[in-house]
Structure 1
Amino acid sequence: MKTLMIHKFRNRVWKLVLMLMVLSACTKDDYYVEGGVANGRFDGSVLQYLESKPVEFDSVVQIVKLAGLDDYLTTDELTFFAPRDENIKELIGALDRGGLNRRLYNEGKDTVKVLSDVDSLIWRKYLQRHMFRGKNKLMDYPQIDFGQQTIYPGQTYYSYNNSVSNIGVVYNDAGGVKYMGYRQLHISYIPDISRPTAGWRTVRVASSDIEADNGIVHVLDVNGGELGFDRGEIENEIAESKR
């Protein structure tokens, strides 16, 4: 009996220590990159930050400039949920692997050889879905629990072109303690605001709270981080523009 009581006491002490460690960690500004920690401060504009990471954002920077949004990412105070080059490449695709170019080829239309082959207004429309006014870090967004959204619903935000997204922070569990684990930002594009709870396109943020001079960058997880949050929609619009 005494041994059992000691064991229970040790378990309680361990859980208390774990909770204190997690709470201590949550008071710091941690910048997670695929589970690792990165420097969260960048000396330059949002655009300059993207330019400084050509492996991840070279194509993104190109379409930002084609869309005429470079001034916004240089001077506006904004929050940018950044897609990655892999997502642009997946959208365009190759003739032997499917994607937009395979479709255009099958329809007898000109394929996309360079990014400027796409109407700049299309790039502008879908990039603006990733742009939100004001500087918002992870700590500025409310909690979301996708299993209990009536209690923790996140919050609705309007982007630069008035498209609608729900943005919230998932509080993960740790050591059997609910909501005491690491926190991860999620953005969910809402295709039809008349049905605000239907058809969400949810993407996790892989790297949050990168603070540039004029804004905050949250880098989307490459898995699911489609440009404009809807690959099918943008693919249809590009194909239709080439009639």
Structure 2
Amino acid sequence: MKNIIKRYFKPAAILSVLLITVISSCKKDEYYNDGGKANPVFNGNIMQYLESNDKFDTIAQIVKLAGMEDVFKNEKITFFAPTDEVIRQTIGLVNTDIADLSGRLNQYLYSSGRDTIQKLSDIQPQIWRKFLSRYIYKGVHKLKDYPQIDFGLRELYPGSFYYTYDGEVSNIGVVYNSVNGVSYVGYRQLALSYLFDPSDPSNITTAAVASSDIQPSNGVVHVLAVTIREKIGDVPTDLNANFFGFSLEFWNDVALSR
């Protein structure tokens, strides 16, 4: 809880408090979240981090179904983590007596006469791996390790291209947000754009990072935001980022396998 400076404090005392606050806020290499300092280090590997957080219960199951548990436990990786909400929006609810048809995949399967997804293991492991790998990168990369990107001035600040774990291509960069119309003076925010066709860099789906630089023992986790509007900060987001794999390609692959 924030301290409240009572109105009867002497001006000198108030000035002292303000100076301490300013000096503290200027310290480099600190981790802040919503204005409050937080510890980015997790005492365990990335798999243990996912299993310990109820936002990633389903994602942790998918890692196991994809046969990538060892990667998340032992390899040095950077994981742009979608939350369980992404799976719900992609498929609908599972592990219920009657599959929820609000997800586009289950609605499509039902309308085309195919069996809906009742449990995550109904989907083939190779499909889980194909789309999960789009969020994984070899090596450890914090926000400070990525170049600047300006989506309105990409010829000057283009971010950079990176290979996903299984060799597909994404663009990753740090957006320097504007404040009151002044460019690049605001907070810094990671943006991940998946490229569907490397020969056409404009054919992308972009997701904003909600929390960056979470540090388990074997890598870094950047948590992706669920997109509810066209922009998050200065990041122009795409509603397709709410679907697992950044598009409806996932449910097309599942439907063909049913």
Range class of TM-score, shorter chain: 0.7 to 0.9
1:19-50 Cα shifts (integer Å, max 9, x gaps): xx79x6483332547x8654211010011111
* Structure 1 unaligned regions, length at least 5: 1-20
2:171 equivalent to 1:166: yes
**Aligned CA-pair RMSD:** 1.9
Higher relative contact order structure (alpha carbons within 8 Å, sequence separation ≥ 6)? 1
Kindly report which structure 2 residues correspond to 1:55-134, keeping only aligned pairs within 5 A, or say none: 56-93=55-92, 95-134=100-139
Give the structure-1-normalised TM-score: 0.84
Q: CA deviation at 1:175?
A: 5.0
CA separation of 1:113/1:186 partners in 2, compared to 1, >3 Å: closer, same or farther? same
Kept after mapping to 2: 8 A contact 1:82/1:218 = yes
Q: Which amino acid aligns with 1:83?
A: P
Find out whether 1:47 has 2:47 as its counterpart: yes
SS in structure 2 at match of 1:157: strand
Counterpart amino acid of residue 157 in structure 1: Y
Asked if the contact 1:171–1:179 (Cα under 8 Å) also holds between the matched residues in 2, the reply is yes
Q: Secondary structure at the match of 2:245?
A: helix
Equivalent residue of 1:90, what SS?
helix
Gaps (5+ residues) in structure 2? Answer: 1-21, 93-98, 228-240
Matches within 5 A, 1:179-190: 179-190=184-195
CA distance in 2, matches of 1:95, 1:215: 35
Measured in 2, the distance between the counterparts of 1:225 and 1:32 equals: 23
8 Å Cα contact 2:147-2:159 kept in structure 1:
yes
Give the structure 2 partner of residue 6 of structure 1: none
User: Judging changes above 3 Å, is the alpha-carbon distance between structure 1 residues 135 and 26 closer, same or farther for their aligned structure 2 residues?
Assistant: farther
Q: For 2:136 and 2:33, how far apart are their aligned partners in 1?
A: 20
Structure 1 residue 177 displacement after superposition: 3.6
Amino acid corresponding to residue 225 of structure 2 in structure 1: D
TM-score by length of 2: 0.79
Percentage of matched positions with identical amino acids: 50
Residues 191-206 of structure 1 correspond to what in structure 2 (within 5 A)?
191-195=196-200, 197-206=201-210
Report the CA distance between 1:222 and its aligned residue. Answer: 1.6
Contact residue 134 and residue 215 of structure 1 kept, 8 A: yes
- Write the distance in 2 (CA, Å) between the matches of 1:79 and 1:179: 26
May I ask how many residue pairs the two structures share in their alignment?
217
